[in-house]
Amino acid sequence: MKHATKTKLPKKEKIALQKERRKRFFYAIGKYLKCPASKAIVRARTLRGLPVELAQALLDRSPTNSARLIGKVLKSATSNALNHRKVQERVVEGLSIEWIQVGQAPVLKRHHPVSHGTAKKILKRSCHIAVQLRYDEPPAGGFPDGKGSVRRRLADPTGRGLPPGTSGAARSSRSVQVRSAADE
């Protein structure tokens, strides 16, 4: 059975592709972070494809250690993108998360003595986290979408039109009827 062979690109084309990739993608890697990969993967799956501002807001509001560590790597990738010469505007508006990769790092093995001369294993797991951002240049009028700008979505991540800090119960039909009856 014959295997398909990969065609090699000429050196000039390969360099041109690499330059184009550097213009649009920015990344950061956090290594040997003290968090199990299984816990960091759960948080990372929720962030794929989101704009950077929205992802950072979600991570800031999450109390978990994995969210804090992913937030650090995301912040590093964002500052790498903003310090790059191809991103003229120093805004995060055009940046979105292309992919997040979480891998298992070396495990520190310890033991805890228990009764009858035996020992219990303690595995201190760690992980590597890599984040790649994509930069799409904004059109002249910003990013048009049906839900409004990223800043407006940050103020209301639910999309219900609530002011920040209010719960969904404040907008239930019963409370609206009570208010309208009291006003009359």
Quote the mean pLDDT of the chain. Answer: 76
Burial of 68 (C-beta count, 10 Å sphere; 0-12/13-18/19+): middle
Q: Provide the number of structural domains found in the chain.
A: 1
Name the one residue in this structure whose structure tokens are 């805004």: 91
Give the separation between CA 79 and CA 77, rounded to whole angstroms.
6
Residue 139 lies in a domain: yes
Name the one residue in this structure whose structure tokens are 């964002």: 78
User: Residue 140 has what pLDDT?
Assistant: 56
Residue 115 lies in a domain: yes
Higher pLDDT, 117 or 147: 117
| Distant-in-sequence, close-in-space partners of 92: CB < 8 Å, separation ≥ 6 | 51, 52, 53, 78, 82
pLDDT per residue over 36-69, tens digit each? 999 999 999 999 889 998 999 999 999 999 999 9
Confidence of residue 21 (pLDDT cuts 50, 70, 90): low
Which CATH number does the domain housing residue 81 bear? Answer: 3.90.470.10
Encoding tokens for residue 157?
């991540």
Note whether 32 and 104 are within 8 A (CB). Answer: no
Give the pLDDT mean for 130-149.
64
Residue 72 lies in a domain: yes
Q: Which range marks the domain in which residue 47 is found? A: 23-144
Residue 66 lies in a domain: yes
pLDDT at 162 over 70: no
Higher pLDDT, 38 or 178: 38
Residue 87 lies in a domain: yes
User: Residue 69 has what pLDDT?
Assistant: 96
Residue 119 lies in a domain: yes
Task: Map residue 104 onto helix, strand or coil.
Answer: strand
User: Residue 11 has what pLDDT?
Assistant: 81
Residue 3 lies in a domain: no
Residue 16 lies in a domain: no
Give the separation between CA 100 and CA 45, rounded to whole angstroms.
8
Note whether 57 and 154 are within 8 A (CB). Answer: yes
Give the residues across from 128 on adjacent strands: 103
